[in-house]
Amino acid sequence: MQLLRGVYERFAAILHELIKFGLVGALAFVIDFGGTNLLRFGVELGPLTSKTIATVVAATFAYFGNRYWTFRHREQSGLAREYLTFFVLNAVGLAISLVVIWFVTYAMGMHDPVSYIVAQLVGLVLGTLFRFWSYKKWVFLETVPDTPAVVVENQAGPLTTR
């Protein structure tokens, strides 16, 4: 029974993180996707420039949403370290999207809005999978519980270890 409870508690925590991550991500998606399309088709910036600018704005929003809501229970290892690591990993996620957009736009020669939107969506899915995994691994670290002191009796007397 204890084993089942442990599995449930572990699954529940991950599920709650996924839901919160998804909600922050949905809002960041609106900023990223809407901003990219506004810059690309409204302001008429290039496809890669549009994506880069909108992603930087969305990533800033996502950082604060994830830090102070999704992963607030995790260890805080310093705003500067987290922020820098977060943006390096977002740069990798952005690079994944840019490769897809570049491939569709320039290698395949598809310059229409539908192709651009599909390329954005494919890049977004691949980049999001990478970001979720990498945030948990390198940015929002698992809190390590204090280990209680253990007293071990030996011939010389009690010995306290951790």
Predicted confidence (pLDDT) per residue in 55-88, tens digit: 999 988 988 888 888 777 666 667 777 778 888 8
In this predicted model, what pLDDT tens digit does every residue of 16-28 receive, in sequence order? Answer: 878 888 899 899 9
Which residues of the chain, if any, have pLDDT below 70?
Answer: 73-77, 139-162
Residues 6+ apart with CB under 8 A from 25: 62, 128
Closest by Cα among 22, 131, 128 to 85: 131
pLDDT score at 4: 75
Question: Three-state SS for 108?
Answer: coil
Residue boundaries of the structural domains of the chain: 2-142
Can you spell out the DSSP letters for 83-101? Answer: HHHHHHHHHHHHHHHHHHH
* pLDDT at res. 77: 63
Among 122, 88, 126, which residue's Cα sits nearest to residue 105? 122
No. of helices (H) and no. of strands (E), the chain: 4, 2
